[in-house]
Amino acid sequence: MKIHLLSLCALLTAAGAAEADPRIIFIDPAAPEAAAVRQAGEAASARVATRLITELTAALGAGGPEKAVDVCHTRALPLTKEPLPGLPQVTAVKRTSLRLRNPANAPDPAEQAALDRIAALVADGKPAPALLIQKIETTGTAAPEWRLYRSFGIQPACLACHGTTESQSSSLRALLRERYPQDAATGYAVGDWRGLVRVTVRIP
């Protein structure tokens, strides 16, 4: 009975979401209306990227990939329950990808649109654009949501955990398999496009 109620809830939620039908609009990052989003969004995404690399490099040096998995899992995302210092207008930060290790990082519809846009360019042999800006308009809400996406690639430091599984030690492979049974985020090479950091910026 409980399960039936839960699936009913899921159906109702899905129907509600479809009704709201957000309009996802890509804005030229050079456009004047994107300036405020860029200013806060670029600062926040740069901070997240720097922190990720610094912490990973330190953890890899100190304990190897097995120890560093915990850094990537628990600390790499300074997710903003509290605002980032000096950036109160940044209300959310998230990493996402088309090839996920943790299903909890799965894209929402607007993130999916951003990922698809870059994937199409990459499939065409074009470089991934560094930045995307989105304005999301939802019927019934006064203010649109503004997002900045920073795209990033695989660096040598990422290969320990996102390179080929053959290059991983059996203990690392076992750890990743145990924690992430659906892991699709291996097999990358240096320079491959990996995914996006998404920053939501509140524009007053």
Tokens of 138: 């939802």
Residues 86, 89: Cα–Cα separation, whole Å: 9
In this structure, the dihedral spanned by the alpha carbons of residues 124, 126, 127 and 130, taken in order and rounded to 10 degrees, is: -90
Binding-site size for ligand HEC (CB under 6 A) equals 25
Considering beta carbons, is residue 105 or 138 the nearer one to ligand HEC?
A: 105
- The answer to whether residues 133 and 119 touch, using CB atoms and an 8 Å cutoff, is no
Stretch of 19-27, 34-42, 62-70, 117-125 lying at the interface with ligand HEC (CB under 6 A): 62-70
Binding mask 28-47 for ligand HEC (x = CB under 6 A): --------------------
Stretch of 4-12, 32-40, 99-107, 130-138 lying at the interface with ligand HEC (CB under 6 A): 99-107
Tokens of 128: 């991934």
Binding-site member from 161, 163, 168, 200 for ligand HEC (CB under 6 A): 161
Q: Distance of CA 116 to CAs 60, 79, 145, Å?
A: 32, 24, 19
- Could you say which residues in the range 108-147 bind ligand HEC, by CB under 6 A? none
